[in-house]
Amino acid sequence: MEKESLLNFLKKNIPNISVDREALLKIADQFEERSFEKNDHLLKSGKISDYFFLSEGFLRVYTYDTDGNEVTTYFYPQGRIVFDASSFFLHNPSTENIQALTKCIGYFTTFEKLNTLFHTVPEFREFGRQMIVTEFVAYKQRTLAMINLSAEERYLQLMKANRDIFQYAQLKHIASYLGVSERTLNRIRLNSTKK
């Protein structure tokens, strides 16, 4: 059935509430399917973010440092909600880019439609809170990891969370995400295989 992956994701992530199919369909009706080819952008710097459920594929989030170099800030595997929270909720132009590293399929909605869902579907309020908490915790953990974990520990943490990352992302993107050079990442990978 159309949108079945979205419906299953919603049902799985609405905490402690028995949600009926009618409410799920009402929510899913506010999302439109979109697909992206490898290297397409879901969001470009300077644009306003939409809210996207990634049903299939793998995404990279990046920005530029003061020297104009790309810095990867996040990776999204399938089965995740993807959006720039500051841009989406505050209507600020994004400072990040979200790029498809594989062919991607998912479901978009706008701020206006999401806001309507928050006010008319109680189950969706719980879902929305859960997604905001999940993303806040992920960003907080990443920030702290960059401060209090070694490069090797960050690498091991990434491998535990997303073992398939080397299948989709370029080495330079992974190194950038970990805050190391490609050479250092190669050394860390080599050392980790010896243990």
pLDDT one-digit tens code per residue, 8-40: 898 888 865 567 788 888 899 999 999 999 999
Q: How far is the C-alpha of 25 from the C-alpha of 14, rounded, in Å?
A: 14
Report how far apart, in Å, the C-alpha atoms of 92 and of each of 46, 98, 132, 164 are. 8, 15, 18, 33
Other Cβ atoms closer than 10 A to 84: 24
Q: Has this prediction a pTM greater than 0.85? A: yes
**Strands, E, within the chain: which ranges?**
32-36, 41-43, 51-56, 58-64, 70-77, 80-82, 97-100, 104-109
Among 56, 140, 45, 154, CA closest to 92: 45
pLDDT means per 10 residues in the chain (195 residues)? 84 73 88 97 97 96 95 94 93 97 96 93 84 87 92 92 90 95 93 77
Q: Pick one of 1.10.3720.10, 2.60.120.10, 3.40.640.10, 3.30.465.10 as the CATH number of 4-148.
A: 2.60.120.10
Structure tokens at 66: 């003061």
